[in-house]
């Protein structure tokens, strides 16, 4: 029926991707290789092996990618202070280029001629997976079952399983969430169910990683974050790996009610979608990094970064991580981070993150110039007169020519 002999599938072990394994085998009469990524989703990934074996899969990849995920994807994104549409810290978006990269690597290792994923035709993930795959292996074939099959609901998926004797107990004995959820070390997302009505408040028991601000401790928690080259390398003086930093911040942030977000975002495919997100560690990292930059970066460099950030954010959100323009922006951002070294002290209290201190050997803050006390001649205040008049010159000329703004 087709020239596809082997397919590498991004496999979670859940209902959708288990159906996809059998559907690929039936539809394309091909061998399926499964790839399951451990990027800190908080659940055991090893059970996916037994599920894949039960479906007749011979080549099974289960990879621990947590360090690579945070070191090579999350941290570079946070060096840019990246935030989409003023709120979203891009937790799902930033995981997709890593998964696409590993899919292509496995395809090369196994001689597969196609990759496949379980993203629907309505969402952003199909774009992210496929743009990444094509950038890394232009001739790769991509099979997106949700764009091909007629299985359009959970009920039809269950019927498919019943017809083909596919095990359907994927809950591990736990009550199934009514939401579509995606988790990694940076965040956990919730969509669907009652959240499809943007007027309806999310249920309190939906959240998995954080207590509500009302239930958070009455005493504040203080952290000292050590930066090197724009990345956190230690917390309270304790050196940590990238993934350990984020996991620790998630734990402490969640315990203090930090990181909950409820937004309606604009998807790349054109529709608006309501999603709720928990990003405790990222919510701490964002203001802390900006605080470190506030004393270490030149003013114009900092302002230019802020101008570039929305473009960078849209590239990540829309799936262009592997594009030349994102890599160009990254080079500029990373160049700016050489002197972003020092310590930031943050205060966590009932859902809020407050920067309460920052220090650096590379600080550009000069107390002798900025002081409100006697500066001993470090700054000549009379210089400001000419500075102001020159900057007002074009407006003074326009006013003299009858172009007064009043």
Catalytic residues: 16, 96, 125, 180
- Quote the CA–CA distance of 403 and 381 in Å, as a whole number: 31
- Indicate the pairing of strand 260-266 with strand 272-278: antiparallel
- Quote the CA–CA distance of 354 and 349 in Å, as a whole number: 8
Half-sphere exposure at residue 11, Cβ-oriented, CA atoms within 13 angstroms: 34
3-class DSSP string for the chain: CCCCCEEEEECCCCHHHHHHHHHHHHHHCCEEEEEEEECCCCCCCCHHHHHHHHCCCCEEEEEECHHHHHHHHHHHHHHCCCCECCCECCCCHHHHHHHHHHHHHHHHHHCCCEEECCCCCCCCHHHHHHHHHHHHCCCCEEECHHHCCCCCCHHHHHHHHHHHCCCCCCCCCCCCCCCEEEECCCCEEEECHHHHCCCCCCCHHHCCCCCCHHHCCCCCEEEEEEEECCEEEEECCEECCHHHHHHHHHHHHHHCCCCEEEEEEECCCCCEEEEEEECHHHHHHHHHHHHHHHHHCCHHHHHHHHHHHHHHHHHHHHCCCCCHHHHHHHHHHHHHCCCCCEEEEEEEECCEEEEEEEECCCCCCCHHHHCCCCCCCCCCCCHHHHHHHHHHHHHHHHHHCCCCCC
- Quote the CA–CA distance of 12 and 36 in Å, as a whole number: 6
């Amino acid at each position: 029926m087709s020239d596809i002999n082997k397919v590498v599938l991004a496999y979670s072990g859940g209902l959708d991707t288990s159906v996809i394994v059998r559907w690929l085998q039936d539809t394309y009469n091909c061998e399926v290789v499964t790839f399951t990524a451990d990027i800190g989703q908080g659940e055991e990934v090893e059970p996916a092996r037994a599920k894949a074996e039960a479906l007749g899969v011979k080549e099974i990849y289960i990879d621990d990618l947590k360090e690579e995920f945070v070191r090579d994807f999350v941290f570079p994104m946070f060096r840019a202070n990246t935030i989409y549409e003023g709120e979203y810290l891009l937790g799902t978006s930033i995981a997709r280029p890593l998964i696409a990269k590993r899919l292509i690597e496995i395809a090369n290792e196994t001689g597969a001629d196609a990759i496949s994923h379980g993203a629907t035709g309505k969402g952003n993930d199909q774009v992210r997976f496929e743009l990444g795959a094509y950038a890394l292996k232009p001739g790769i074939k991509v099979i997106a079952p949700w764009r091909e099959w007629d299985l359009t609901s959970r009920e039809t998926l269950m019927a498919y399983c019943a017809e083909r004797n596919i095990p359907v107990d994927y809950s591990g004995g736990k009550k199934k969430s009514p939401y579509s959820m995606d988790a990694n070390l940076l965040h956990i997302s919730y969509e669907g169910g009652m959240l499809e009505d943007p007027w309806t408040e999310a249920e309190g028991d939906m959240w998995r990683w954080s207590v509500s601000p009302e239930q958070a401790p009455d005493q504040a928690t203080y952290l000292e974050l050590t930066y090197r080259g724009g990345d956190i390398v230690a917390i309270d003086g304790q050196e940590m790996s990238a993934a350990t930093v984020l996991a620790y911040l998630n734990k402490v942030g969640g315990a203090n009610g930090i990181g909950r977000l409820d937004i309606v975002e604009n998807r790349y495919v054109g529709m608006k979608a309501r999603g709720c997100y928990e990003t405790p560690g990222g919510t701490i990292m964002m203001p802390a990094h900006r605080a470190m930059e506030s004393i270490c970066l030149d003013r114009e460099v900092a302002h230019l970064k802020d101008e570039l950030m929305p473009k960078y954010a849209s590239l990540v959100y829309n799936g262009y991580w592997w594009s030349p323009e994102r890599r160009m922006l990254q080079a500029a951002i990373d160049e700016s981070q050489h002197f972003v070294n020092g310590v930031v002290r943050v205060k966590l209290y009932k859902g809020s993150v407050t920067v309460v201190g920052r220090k650096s050997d590379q600080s550009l803050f000069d107390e002798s110039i900025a002081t409100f006390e006697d500066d001993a001649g470090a700054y000549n205040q009379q210089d400001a007169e000419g500075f102001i008049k020159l900057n007002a010159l074009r407006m003074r000329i326009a006013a003299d020519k009858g172009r007064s703004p009043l």
